[in-house]
Amino acid sequence: MGYEVLAPQGQFFGKVFAFPARVYYEDTDAGGVVFYANYLRFAERARTEFIRALGVNQHEALQAEEMCGFMVRGINIEYKAPAILDDLLSITCEVMNLSGARLEMKQEIYCHDKLLVSMTVQLAYVSLNKKRPIRIPEALVKKIESLA
């Protein structure tokens, strides 16, 4: 017998999207703090939910004739303080720049009011069939621009 439960979801606060996550044992290293690479996983989940909250079905985009989606092109990350087991985190996403096939996003990870991690992520919208960047669809651009 299955149980229907709700998946974690974030919400918009103006143009900033915030997504909740809990730190589990599997997220930590031998010192009991979140392993540095796992912050990238938290950020990826938040970006995925950001797109979902805009009403975009990423699965459909991947199944379409012109398979496409966002790929990380570059990232600059600064670790300010560690998260530990059972911390409740808030991961934010804020679009800083949008043009052509490029999207630049600021992401921050907080535990309560304490900033733990700050990053700038450069994304490219890519045709997976052609293995090259393509323009972000106008419908998605309009949804993102409507946040401002």
Kindly give the parts of the chain with pLDDT less than 50: none
Which CATH number is associated with domain 24-145?
3.10.129.10
Per-residue burial over 54-86, b = 16 or more CB atoms within 10 Å of its CB, e = otherwise: bebeeeebeeeeeebbbeeeeeeeeeeebbeee
Active-site residue, selected from the candidate residues 29, 86, 87, 113: 29
113 is catalytic: no
Torsion on CA atoms 13, 18, 20, 21, rounded to nearest 10: -170
> Taking the model in full, what pTM does it have?
0.92
44-66: pLDDT as tens digits: 999 999 999 998 877 676 666 67
